[in-house]
A and B are shown apart, each in its own frame.
Chain A
Amino acid sequence: MTATGRYMGARVRRNEDARLLTGRALFVDDVHLDGMLHVAFLRSDYAHALLRSVDVAAARRRPGVVAAYTAADLGDYWRPGPLLVPPPPIRGLVFHARTQVPLARDRVRHVGEPIAMVVAESRYVAEDALEDIVVDAEPLPVVVDLEAALAPGAPLVHDDLGSNVAAHAVQRKGDYARARAAAHVVIARRFRYDRGAAAAIENRGIVAQWDPRAEELTLWDTTQAPIPIRNGLARLLGLLESQVRVIAPFVGGGFGPKIMMFYPEEVLLPWAALRLGRPLKWIEDRRENFSATTQERGQIHDAEIAVARDGRILGVRDVFLHDTGAYDPYGLTVPINSQCTLLGPYDVPNYASEFTAVFTNKTIVTPVRGAGRQHGVFVIERLLDFAAKQLGIDRAEIRRRNLLRPDQFPHNHEIIFQDSAPLVYDSGDYAPALERARELIGYDGFVQSEQARLRAAGRHVGLGLVCYVEGTGIGPYEGARVTVEPSGQVRVATGVGTQGQGHFTAFAQIVADVLDVEVDQVHVVTGDTREFHWGTGTFASRGAVVAGSACHAAAVRVREKVLELASGLLGAPPDRLELAGGRVRVRGSSDSAIPLGELALRANPLRGAVRPGTEPGLEATAYFGPDRGSTASGVHAMLVEVDPETAQVEIQRYVVVHDCGRVINPMIVEGQIQGGVAHGIGNAFYEQLVYDEAGQLLNASLMDYLLPTATDVPAVEMAHHETPSPLNPVGVKGVGEAGAIPTGAAFAQAVEDALSDHGVEITEIPLSPNRLFELIEAARSARAR
């Protein structure tokens, strides 16, 4: 059964909003428990140092302090964290796993790495006590720059490895050397992308409670992956999985770093709560967030494209460095995404891609909204721009000529994706989306006349137009349990956590349609392992796809149970019954409709016998595991005006045409895209984590690290273009990251276009106003020479 009904595709107001708007919604920092103590961490000020000794004796003596711990106090519990994502089966792959530790023992490898933990009656006292701790550390030479990290004699982040290479992987398709030899033009450039912060407005936080009577550990955690946290903690602490309950309540934005595990705090708070027999709370502050929460996006690409005279891509070669920070617990997800996403919506017959992941003395790198895809899109889109220019082909046209055609799906790219499966696009129809974006932004009018007219009036306005694909909704699986209660209301429990994506509503819509009830009668619970404990988490734009499909499957099973039970009561076969408006009746008859609630009661009788082979209740649990991800795609177009004197950029219009398969709730999808574009604009022009040579982050506050505000982000004009995914019954593809992925590429093209009379070439993101000013000046003096 495929998903249809009155809620599928409708702009349904969100079920969760009333709680959030009135301040009733529970976030981790809102948890208050009797006898609760507060935790603060002493973190390294050095990016790289030997720890000679850490003395917490004075901290322990401070009134109000209950405990202070260093690595030495952890005994056997001290061990490096797990490797979260083992590397995929790529031939010849080199990979060195070096994962983070709970508290640094003899060496610190990045600023912000925790060294000691203080537990006190209040957070204020705990922070006072951090001042009492005496650390004897010997600073070591620091590795910050990616290329310097690989130079002979560079200081080593992990000296047992003998180099700073964390991984090396080569993936190939076809024969690039042959393609290159046959090319009309080969264009080579170096591209850089730098680090940004995910910057969820809620920082991370944990509350841990050991209940000695129930012998149960409860953890409230801002994680995107409550179930794996529960399973891992049970293992670490020697408890049964059923003795550990992890709750990810309302979470104030995730964007990737909240799926990392285990953060040191996540293993330390439960351990100390067990020892001390009192509940503990730690809430990250913004400054900690800038160094202790994972980051992303540092890469350097040396790429070239080989094209025919008509602009067709014959092949692409890309060699890149990926900054993985001080440890690499997330494996190779990010660089492999970069490697795969570079192919975009295009037919690239020959591809040679090679990357080296590099350890540096900086905060750990794990996926942040987009997860490496930005880089791939940036490289291919910029190469196409340069090729178009050199060949004298229009930039929209060179893209159109290279798009995969509908008859090429499913399309196998012959390389391995992050989920260890071959990179296969399930479905897509790219040319109409490109055409639509051209229309919406007014491409022809702009390039043919408008731009010249504006330029004559002294204005520098430019257009950017780029395509992307995004592999979404990967496995392994998610599950859901759907229950009709005797009140007639429906409850849905699923394992994914939610960080604002509207799951309480989108899942309710899917279930409401199958059971034909009002959407506000469907109550969704997410992210509590006591409610549902099978699944993996919210990442890779997979919530709606994978968990949504599981909700659908469970609801379909409940519907079958409903009809079967009603069939006996109404004396008619199930196929003659109809379920509508929360009641079942014999089709065409006006009497004897039975409400769902009454059926739920009857399905759970207090007396009499339940027929053998039947289960009580109107409840079903189902799972969904796609073989591979579904491929979302789209086109972004923007108009910008640049002031060449001040390097200020104003975004005048932003258009997104996207295909995320069937749309469950357009309001939610549009919100995800608008928010993603805002994030992308931030990455492109405002946000950059600036490290100095000593590995110190120079802008670790929201005062200095600029997030875009309401005056920086335009209203995004959107068009949905639906090619339903054949890989799931709902037909959806993920959308959570799409807005943020191609923004940098579009921005670079638009700014370069606006400044075409200055001859500025843009090969890096982020471009701050300062950096753009430098590029304009450099272009000016180059022309003067």
Chain B
Amino acid sequence: MDQQVPIGVTVNGVRHERAVEPRLLLSDFLRHELGLTGTHVGCEHGVCGACTVLLDGDAVRSCLILAVQADGHELVTVEGLAPPGGGDELHPLQAAFREAHGLQCGFCTPGFLMTLVPFLREHPHPSEPEIREALSGHLCRCTGYQGIVAAVRLAAGSAP
């Protein structure tokens, strides 16, 4: 178990080299090794979607991937969405979530955002059933999803 494997990943444009245990989950690596705690963990069995990040541009569940499997890949987490600088400027999707009350406790939110970024890239004008289908791989206990659906429509410019 002590065996450590060297890996190199680029996260939000920054290169990181680390030695990790082979069994370390990518979610734990991001959160606890790199301190990127915006990626949340709700189930660690691939159902809730809170841990979703982009791996080479695709949404993946970081609780189902080992850190060593991310070796050599590009990752984006929720911290990488808004323009850098830590100001209050938001990514348009984040702004739409705020506008349409797409979050309450906000715990599930980073996961939803990371799934929706590639979704909107591939479906710039989604229908409501398409939106709901896209959201259905994520769990939110607070919002009842309506604010999230509205936020996606707003971000897609298809709000009524």
Chain A residue numbers with a CB within 8 Å of B90 are 18, 21-22
Separation of A24 and B90 alpha carbons in the complex (Å):
12
Whether A250 is near chain B, meaning CB under 8 Å from some CB there, is: yes
Residues of A within 8 A of B1 (CB): 125, 128
User: Could you tell me the distance between the alpha carbons of A286 and B16 in the complex, rounded to whole angstroms?
Assistant: 30
Q: Indicate if the CB atoms of B42 and A286 lie closer than 8 Å.
A: yes
Check B19 for interface membership: any CB of A closer than 8 A: no
For the complex, what is the distance from the CA of A674 to the CA of B43, rounded to whole Å?
23
**C-alpha spacing A14/B21, complex, angstroms:** 41
In-complex Cβ contact of B36 among A23, A124, A499, A707 (8 A): A23
B99 beta carbon closer than 8 Å to chain A: yes
In contact, B32 and A702 (Cβ under 8 angstroms)? no
Give the chain A neighbours of B103 by CB distance below 8 A: 17, 20-21, 500
The size of the chain A interface, using a CB distance under 8 A, is: 58
Q: How far is the CB of B76 from chain A (nearest CB, A)?
A: 11
B133 at the interface (CB under 8 A from A): yes
In terms of DSSP, what is the predominant structure of the interface of chain A? loop
Within 8 Å by CB of B107, from A253, A285, A672, A707, lies A253
Cβ of B6: which chain A residues have Cβ within 8 Å of it? none
| B contacts with A: majority SS | loop
* A702 in contact with B45 (CB, 8 Å): yes
Does A644 make an interface contact (CB < 8 A)?
no
B50 at interface, CB cutoff 8 A: yes
Q: Is the CB of B142 within 8 A of A675?
A: yes
Which of B48, B131, B132, B144 has the most C-beta atoms of chain A within 10 angstroms of its own C-beta? B144
Give the residues from 130 to 158 in chain B that come closer than 8 angstroms, CB to CB, to chain A. Answer: 131-133, 135-149
Are B139's CB and A18's CB within 8 A?
no
Of chain B, the residue at the smallest CB distance from A197 is: B141
Number of interchain pairs (Cβ within 8 Å): 181
Q: B67: which A residues are within 8 A, CB to CB?
A: none
The answer on a CB contact under 8 Å between A675 and B45 is no
Determine whether the beta carbon of B39 is less than 8 Å from that of A17.
no
Q: Does A730 contact B (CB under 8 A)?
A: no
- Cα–Cα, bound, A766→B77 (Å): 38
Find B47's partner among A20, A702, A739 (CB 8 Å cutoff): A702
Within 8 Å by CB of B44, from A24, A32, A285, lies A285
B20-43, CB < 8 A from A: 21, 23-24, 31-32, 35-43
**Which of A14, A21, A675, A703 has the most chain B CB within a 10 Å cutoff?**
A21
Q: Which of B54-62, B108-116, B118-126 is the interface stretch?
A: B108-116
| Given A14-B101, A710-B136, also A716-B146 (CB < 8 A) | yes
Give chain A residues whose Cβ lies under 8 Å from the Cβ of B99: 13
Chain A 692-733 near chain B by CB (<8 Å), digits 1 or 0: 000000000111000101110101100000000000000000
Cβ of A202 under 8 Å from chain B: yes
Which residues on the B side are within 8 Å of A707 (C-beta)?
Answer: 139, 141
Cβ contacts under 8 Å, B139 to chain A: 201, 702, 707, 709
Determine which of A202, A203, A676, A716 lies in contact with B105 in the assembled complex, contact meaning CB atoms within 8 Å.
A202
Q: Which 6 A-B pairs have the closest CB atoms?
A: A23-B38, A252-B107, A500-B105, A20-B106, A678-B144, A500-B104
Known contacts A22-B90, A675-B141, A709-B145; 5 further A-B pairs (Cβ under 8 A): A21-B109, A23-B37, A201-B105, A202-B40, A710-B145
Q: Can you show 26 pairs from A to B with CB atoms below 8 A apart?
A: A17-B97, A18-B98, A20-B106, A21-B94, A21-B97, A21-B106, A23-B36, A23-B38, A32-B37, A199-B141, A201-B50, A201-B107, A250-B106, A252-B105, A252-B106, A253-B104, A671-B143, A674-B145, A701-B45, A701-B47, A702-B43, A707-B141, A709-B145, A710-B132, A710-B133, A710-B135
